Amino acid sequence: MSQTKQLLDALQWRYATKVFDANKKIPGEVWTALEKTLVLTPSSYGLQPYHFLVVQDAAMRAALLPHTWGQKQIVDCSHFVVFTARTEMKAADVDKLIQRTVEIRKLPADALNAYRGMMLGDVVNGPRGKAAHEWAARQCYIALGGLMTAAAVLGVDACPMEGLVPAEYDKLLKLDGSGYQTVVACALGYRAAGDKYASLAKIRYEPAELVKVV
């Protein structure tokens, strides 16, 4: 099977899973790969303004359920990921990335001064700094898309979930004052045999209607 066919078949196979098999868990090796997918997410400037909370505690999931519109995916899935984004960006965040870059790429300490100034002038002190959480939230959605695509390729079901109350999540997950706020979540695992949505045809517009070549 060609790589292109494998990818498109996986994307055709995936759907927003409504009912998970609570007894079927994602194998450790597969989850490690999916977790690495999150870490490898591209982000603006490479600043990685997010944390991914993998909620595995059954009691915590049960507490979150009423604040997730009662969607049982969160208690039945194998792994439940909450995407949280920075509420503001500080010079320390920029300096942390600079330090990490210097360390990994073996650069002189002052080699990235211009890049540091650019980031400070944009996401810390500039216009985007005034809407830092909105900017960071968009980075979370990049991570969500990558995770769901990787899951499909590996034969893992997923359901992206915006149907939640971020403020209540923040309280239960003790995010208040942490510098992060809940944005979106994703349930992952394996579909239950009785999930009727698995066999429904996808409703998509034709490529010519959605893809425009300029």
What is the residue range of 51's domain? Answer: 3-210
Q: pLDDT tens-digit profile of 37-65?
A: 999 999 999 999 999 999 999 999 999 99
Distance CA 158, CA 167 (A): 23
Q: Is the pLDDT of residue 1 over 90?
A: no
């010079």: which residue's tokens? 91
Q: Which 3 state secondary structure label does DSSP give 1?
A: coil
Token pair for residue 134? Answer: 């909105």
Distance CA 122, CA 118 (A): 6
Q: How many domains does the chain have?
A: 1
**What is the β-pairing status of strands 157-161 and 79-86?**
unpaired
pTM for this prediction = 0.97
How many alpha carbons lie under 13 Å from residue 33 in its C-beta half-sphere?
A: 13
Please report, for the domain that includes residue 78, its CATH number: 3.40.109.10
Q: pLDDT tens-digit profile of 111-121?
A: 999 999 999 99
